[in-house]
């Protein structure tokens, strides 16, 4: 029982992990014993993240590929499996946001959100799952959002993509649980990240959020680590297709 949260000997890929939530999750898994693979499209950013983890005595590797490309995702997963080792854990974290009223939302941004936030989950998830299925085990964690459940003006397409992540997680479970995989999602609330910096710096929005959230504050990215470690380890062996909201209670107050 004492090993339920021990990730020693596990290899984990976290997409979009050179900063923000992705980096915090990679750091947290590594601190619990996992060997982590940092992913991104910018070599310099990925290198800095890997060096930062190694400076802490943690085990980290770089995997530079574009998760929004089906071919690049497959080649990236194949390279990790061949050069680093068999993947035990995948966290589909890569994502983006674009805010503007729906009636003015540019079509190219809509397509970009779809590709970045949902197609990448399918491409990387499918590539990783094929190897996991052959081994009869594996953990996939998709990063959803409170916007999988809620809506707010100016982000309707983002809300659509995160709702799709929640349901794709269920679909992955329906297809892959029988092969020994556990596929779940973490749905963060409002966290202080580079993606949300404009909102963090907006006193009016921060005041609204603090009143709207039962916990009365923004979340800190380190507060997502516990959920990720739990869903990555033995303690979640019979949890499948679930979306875990880590949101300070905001989804309880619809």
**Closest Cα partner for 251 from 168, 147, 155?**
147
Instruction: For residue 3, tell me if it sits in a domain.
Output: no
CATH number of the domain that residue 75 is part of: 3.40.50.720
- Among 2-6, 138-142, 178-182, 210-214, which stretch is predicted with the lowest mean pLDDT? 2-6
* The token pair that represents 212 in the structure block: 């709207």
139 within some domain? yes
Helix then strand count (H, E) for the chain reads: 9, 7
Q: Which residues contact 137 (CB under 8 A, 6 or more apart)?
A: 88, 180, 181
Q: What is the domain count for the chain?
A: 1
**Given the structure tokens 């959100």, which residue do they identify?**
113
Instruction: With cut-offs at 50, 70 and 90, classify the pLDDT of residue 196.
Output: confident
Cα–Cα distances in angstroms (integers) from residue 65 to residues 1, 6, 27, 30, 46, in the given order: 37, 29, 20, 21, 10
In a domain, 2, yes or no: no
Residues in a beta bridge with 40 = 64
pTM: 0.95
pLDDT confidence of 197, banded at 50, 70, 90?
A: confident
Whether 169 is covered by a domain: the verdict is yes
DSSP 22-71: HHHHHHHHHHTT-EEEEEES-HHHHHHHHHHHHHTT--EEEEE--TTSHH
64 occurs within a structural domain:
yes
Q: Is residue 175 assigned to a domain?
A: yes
The C-alpha atoms of residue 163 and residue 147 are separated, in whole angstroms, by: 7
Phi, psi of 84 (to 5 degrees): -110, -50
Q: What local confidence, expressed as pLDDT, does residue 3 receive?
A: 85
Is 41 among the domain residues? Answer: yes
Task: Write out pLDDT tens, residues 126-158.
Answer: 999 999 999 999 999 999 999 999 988 899 999
Assigned domain for 1 exists = no
* E strand or H helix at 158: helix 156-176
> Are 123 and 69 spatial neighbours (Cβ–Cβ below 8 Å)?
yes
Confidence of residue 195 (pLDDT cuts 50, 70, 90): confident
Mean pLDDT to the nearest integer, 171-196 = 94
Residues marked as catalytic: 158
For 52, the domain range is 11-252
Any long-range contacts for 176-179 (C-beta under 8 Å, 24+ apart)? 176/129, 176/132, 176/133, 176/140, 177/240, 177/241, 179/132, 179/133, 179/136
């Amino acid at each position: 029982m004492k090993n339920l949260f021990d990730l020693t000997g596990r290899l984990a890929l976290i997409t979009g992990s050179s900063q923000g939530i992705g980096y915090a999750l990679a750091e947290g898994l590594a601190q619990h014993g996992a060997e982590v693979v940092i992913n991104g499209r910018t070599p310099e950013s990925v290198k800095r993240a890997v060096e930062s983890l190694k400076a802490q005595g943690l085990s980290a590797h770089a995997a530079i590929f574009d998760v929004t490309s089906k071919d690049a995702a497959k080649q990236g997963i194949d390279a990790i499996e061949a050069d680093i080792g068999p993947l035990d854990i995948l966290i589909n974290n890569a994502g983006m946001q674009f805010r503007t009223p729906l009636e003015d939302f540019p079509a190219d941004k809509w397509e970009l959100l779809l590709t970045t936030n949902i197609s990448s989950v399918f491409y990387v998830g499918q590539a990783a799952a094929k190897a996991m299925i052959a081994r009869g085990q594996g953990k996939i964690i998709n990063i959803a959002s409170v916007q999988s459940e809620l809506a707010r003006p100016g982000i309707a397409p983002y809300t659509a993509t995160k709702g799709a992540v929640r349901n794709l997680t269920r679909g992955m479970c329906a297809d892959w649980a029988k092969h020994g995989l556990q596929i779940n999602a973490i749905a963060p609330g409002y966290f202080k990240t580079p993606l949300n910096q404009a909102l963090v710096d907006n006193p009016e929005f921060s005041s609204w959020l603090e009143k709207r959230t039962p916990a009365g504050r923004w979340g800190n990215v380190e507060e997502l680590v516990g959920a990720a470690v739990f869903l990555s380890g033995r303690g979640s062996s019979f949890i499948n297709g679930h979306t875990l909201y880590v949101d300070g209670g905001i989804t309880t107050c619809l």
